[in-house]
A and B are shown apart, each in its own frame.
Chain A
Amino acid sequence: MYSYDTIDAAMLADRNAEFRDQVARRLSGDMSEAQFKPLRLMNGLYLQLHSYMLRVAIPYGSLNPSQLRALAHVARRWDKGYGHFTTRQNLQFHWTRLSDAPDILDHLATVGLHAIQTSGNCIRNTTSDPFAGAAADEADDARIWCEAIRQWSSFHPEFTYLPRKFKIAVTASATDRAAVRAHDIGLVLHRNDEGRLGFEVIVGGGLGRTPFIGKTIRDHLPAEHLLSYLTAILRIYNLEGRRDNLYKARIKILVDSLGAAAFAEKVEAEWVAMDRARIDLPDLELARIRASFGLIAHKSDPGGRAAFEADKASDRAFSRFVRNNVSAHKHPDYAIVSVSLKTIGDTPGDASADQMDVVADLGEAYGHGDIRVTHAQNLVLPHISLRDVRAVYEKLSAAGLATPNIDLASDIIACPGLDYCALANARAIPISQDIARRFADPDRAEQVGELKIKISGCINACGHHHLGHIGILGVDKKGEEFFQFTLGGSGAEDASVGQALGPAVPADKVADTVDRLAAAYLDLRAPGERFLDTVRRLGVAPFKAAAYADADPA
């Protein structure tokens, strides 16, 4: 992993000193809440329904064991003993006190963690492929470029007061595990015919009230020009993005109103005119970042592979875990192990302090000290030798972290919803729990197969409902919580926004409706089709008929 040098550490220390001073001014009454609000938001501190929520940045979802243990410590000492992993690959503490925030941040700084730019109208934490560095199909390690973006975007003087928040995601694989097409900027790193690394630059994706899949404005930007090109995009957006209407201020609205081609022309003109050499990282710095991540010396171990295969053949539960939670690694004798934070009946994305410690220990003992957070609110151990997968599985299992449900119906993305969030119209967590219980039988869950259900408690779409194979949106109808369904969304390389199914249903009918949709799929599917494929082939009509079959005709 990237390790901070003295400059990175000094940046954090300076920021924490500033924030400690700002909190002191607020607590003493020298500063009003109105003055303090934008300052605390820049440091990830939100005032929620019941408490202050602190959002800690996990750059590109990458953690080392010490960092995860520090998060566990914060959860125990200053929160209620758990934390919530988010779709931005960050971690939120929902029950903190304002007066503790400076101490929490100082503790996190000892392991290089912070809450910088986890809120506010600035460039947020860059997200990435949780398999980066381990995936067989990647063109390069996306984290190197994410780290370059992290530094460039941290305390950027020109882009701290943008029209609206700004999110960048990077992948280096054709298989998109980072939802890059749903971001303000999505970057797909690949090699062209001459073998040169470059980025497909996708702009103007986003969710919320007006969902858009991003548009490609450049097919192959030479990788070394990434930061100057990002500067050009951000400058056009900063100058021309709308500031008169909060709901039309994201870059997606600018790109849509100008048209992608006209927007691209503006970016190219700006990029050509600027002094790129001052902005782009020199090769030496890119090499330094690359070296800082280090190389993992993967060892060939055919015996380990054989033992792994034998265990799979003899142990049904282990075999199921491997089928669903273990992915191919670029080295034949290693595996990528997903850690499910979707235990049936629990809150999606929550991890207790003890569970964090278990994963940290496993990462240290078996995983080359490398732990990832996924945008689907799970964790990943990306470098486990096949010989050790069984031991890791058993320890995860003992800690309630081995539910074999990655990408299945119970692997639900849900926002915190009305249980925590001041913006929500409806609860998302209990709805997700109801649905997950319907798929608690692992045979049934596997029979239905890949089914990505995403739930948002309001139109801001933090639960990415537009991208769900089944999307569920909570709305308020005369004081009662109702839920609208969309079908056929995807956040992957085949990105699309889901289509509305029909009338909203009350909370106690949501799980029934999902059940019927799954049953309809099993009836309608062609061989080899996922739920998403069947919806795309047939449209929503047959699913609508099934979902509302016994609805009151009145």
Chain B
Amino acid sequence: MQMLIRLEAGRFVRAADDFITLAAEGDPPADGGVIVPLAHWAEMGERLLSEGREVGVRLTSADPVEALLPVLERLSVVAVEFPIFRDGRGYSAAVLLRTRLGYRGELRAVGDVLVDQAWNLVRCGFDAFETNASPEQFAASAHRFRHVYQASADDRPPAFVERETV
């Protein structure tokens, strides 16, 4: 099983991954949660949802988030892939999912997820992370800066708001 860190009520905790991510080919397992690559959604997405299971979608960094709009409310997980840590498209995808499309379910960063990116990921709205780092390391990176300068998909007040309230 993949190791996951989840951000739950402001704390980073180790969690087991109770979803199976489907490979490009092959049939889904008989039961349990599944994450379907967007490219295969058309073949099996509706069927899996109709079975009453927990279903997620995995986006590559090139997939447009708008493609999820028709099913977003029924998804349990959206997994956004970072094929290499310096491919930053996933950050904009996350911001759009949270602030534009109103997605409130689990938003999972998968692929090349480094501890030094924790603060970017958290600020852009991710709340689950496929990583080998420990929750303590992840928390330290995510909390590195006491202040932030700009609004993102989290609820941290930017410096210009903090200054108004001092």
Q: Is the CB of B162 within 8 A of A7?
A: yes
Choose the segment among A51-59, A281-289, A343-351, A365-373 that binds chain B (4+ C-beta atoms closer than 8 Å): A281-289
The complex places the Cα of A288 from the Cα of B95 at a distance, in Å, of 29
The complex places the Cα of A281 from the Cα of B151 at a distance, in Å, of 10
Contacts A39-B116, A151-B159; A11 near B88 (Cβ below 8 A) = no
Q: Is the CB of B92 within 8 A of A239?
A: yes
Q: Is the CB of B149 within 8 A of A160?
A: no
Q: Is the CB of A155 within 8 A of B149?
A: yes
The complex places the Cα of A278 from the Cα of B150 at a distance, in Å, of 9
Chain B residue contacts of A157, Cβ below 8 A: 91, 119-120, 123-124, 148, 150, 152
Chain B residue contacts of A7, Cβ below 8 A: 147, 159, 162-163
Q: Is the CB of A238 within 8 A of B92?
A: yes
Residue of A nearest to B122 (CB): A157
Q: Which residues of B contact A (CB under 8 A)?
A: 85-89, 91-93, 95, 99-100, 116, 119-120, 123-124, 144-152, 159-160, 162-164
17 contacts between A and B (CB under 8 A): A7-B163, A10-B146, A14-B144, A39-B116, A151-B159, A152-B149, A156-B149, A157-B123, A158-B120, A161-B87, A161-B88, A161-B120, A239-B92, A274-B99, A278-B151, A281-B160, A284-B164
Specify which of A155, A227, A243, A282 is in contact with B87 (CB 8 Å cutoff). A243
Query: Interface readout for A219-259 with B: 1 if CB under 8 Å, 0 if not?
Result: 00000000100000001001100010000000000000000
Q: What is the minimal beta-carbon distance from B28 to any residue of chain A, in angstroms?
A: 30
Residue A265 lies at the interface, judged by CB distance under 8 Å to chain B: no
The complex places the Cα of A18 from the Cα of B145 at a distance, in Å, of 9
Q: What is the minimal beta-carbon distance from B107 to any residue of chain A, in angstroms?
A: 14
Which 5 pairs show the lowest CB-CB distances between chains A and B? Answer: A161-B88, A157-B123, A285-B160, A278-B151, A157-B120
Chain A residue contacts of B160, Cβ below 8 A: 151, 281-282, 285
Residue of A nearest to B61 (CB): A243
Chain A: residues with Cβ within 8 Å of the partner, total of 37
Chain A residue contacts of B99, Cβ below 8 A: 274-275
Chain B residue contacts of A264, Cβ below 8 A: none
Contacts A7-B159, A38-B86, A274-B100; A151 near B150 (Cβ below 8 A) = yes
Q: What is the minimal beta-carbon distance from A349 to any residue of chain B, in angstroms?
A: 30
Contacts A157-B120, A282-B160; A238 near B91 (Cβ below 8 A) = yes
Residue A420 lies at the interface, judged by CB distance under 8 Å to chain B: no
The complex places the Cα of A275 from the Cα of B150 at a distance, in Å, of 13
Contacts A10-B146, A279-B151; A161 near B159 (Cβ below 8 A) = no
Chain A residue contacts of B93, Cβ below 8 A: 239
Q: What is the minimal beta-carbon distance from A454 to any residue of chain B, in angstroms?
A: 31
Chain A residue contacts of B123, Cβ below 8 A: 157-158
Residue of B nearest to A157 (CB): B123
The complex places the Cα of A129 from the Cα of B151 at a distance, in Å, of 28
Residue of A nearest to B148 (CB): A155
Chain A CB count within 10 A is highest, among B85, B86, B152, for B86
Q: Is the CB of A161 within 8 A of B85?
A: yes
Chain A residue contacts of B95, Cβ below 8 A: 158, 235
Residue of B nearest to A38 (CB): B86
Residue A5 lies at the interface, judged by CB distance under 8 Å to chain B: yes
The complex places the Cα of A158 from the Cα of B88 at a distance, in Å, of 7
Residue A295 lies at the interface, judged by CB distance under 8 Å to chain B: no
Residue A154 lies at the interface, judged by CB distance under 8 Å to chain B: yes
Q: Is the CB of B149 within 8 A of A151?
A: yes
The complex places the Cα of A57 from the Cα of B71 at a distance, in Å, of 46
Residue of B nearest to A286 (CB): B160
Q: Is the CB of B146 within 8 A of A158?
A: no
The complex places the Cα of A8 from the Cα of B87 at a distance, in Å, of 28
Residue A188 lies at the interface, judged by CB distance under 8 Å to chain B: no
Residue of A nearest to B143 (CB): A14
Q: What is the minimal beta-carbon distance from B141 to any residue of chain A, in angstroms?
A: 8
**Other CB < 8 Å A-B pairs besides A121-B88, A155-B149, 4 of them?**
A14-B145, A155-B145, A158-B123, A288-B163
Chain B residue contacts of A5, Cβ below 8 A: 163
Chain A residue contacts of B100, Cβ below 8 A: 273-274
Q: What is the minimal beta-carbon distance from A455 to any residue of chain B, in angstroms?
A: 31
Q: Is the CB of B116 within 8 A of A152?
A: no
Q: Is the CB of A10 within 8 A of B147?
A: yes
Which residues of chain A from 148 to 175 have any CB-CB distance to chain B below 8 Å in the complex? 151-152, 154-162
Contacts A155-B148, A238-B91; A285 near B116 (Cβ below 8 A) = no
Chain B residue contacts of A227, Cβ below 8 A: 150
Chain A residue contacts of B162, Cβ below 8 A: 7
Chain B CB count within 10 A is highest, among A18, A121, A152, A158, for A158
Q: What is the minimal beta-carbon distance from B131 to any residue of chain A, in angstroms?
A: 14
Contacts A273-B100, A274-B100; A239 near B89 (Cβ below 8 A) = yes
Q: What is the minimal beta-carbon distance from B85 to any residue of chain A, in angstroms?
A: 7
Residue of B nearest to A161 (CB): B88
Contacts A5-B163, A281-B160; A161 near B150 (Cβ below 8 A) = no
The complex places the Cα of A167 from the Cα of B165 at a distance, in Å, of 32
The complex places the Cα of A10 from the Cα of B144 at a distance, in Å, of 11
Q: What is the minimal beta-carbon distance from A238 to any residue of chain B, in angstroms?
A: 5
Chain B residue contacts of A18, Cβ below 8 A: 144
Q: Is the CB of A158 within 8 A of B92?
A: yes
Q: What is the minimal beta-carbon distance from A159 to any residue of chain B, in angstroms?
A: 7
Residue of B nearest to A282 (CB): B160
The complex places the Cα of A18 from the Cα of B143 at a distance, in Å, of 11
Residue of A nearest to B88 (CB): A161
The complex places the Cα of A179 from the Cα of B152 at a distance, in Å, of 31
The complex places the Cα of A5 from the Cα of B116 at a distance, in Å, of 27
Chain B residue contacts of A14, Cβ below 8 A: 144-146
The complex places the Cα of A29 from the Cα of B16 at a distance, in Å, of 31
Chain A CB count within 10 A is highest, among B89, B100, B162, for B89
The complex places the Cα of A282 from the Cα of B116 at a distance, in Å, of 31
Chain B residue contacts of A275, Cβ below 8 A: 99
The complex places the Cα of A227 from the Cα of B123 at a distance, in Å, of 18
Q: What is the minimal beta-carbon distance from B117 to any residue of chain A, in angstroms?
A: 8
The complex places the Cα of A11 from the Cα of B150 at a distance, in Å, of 13
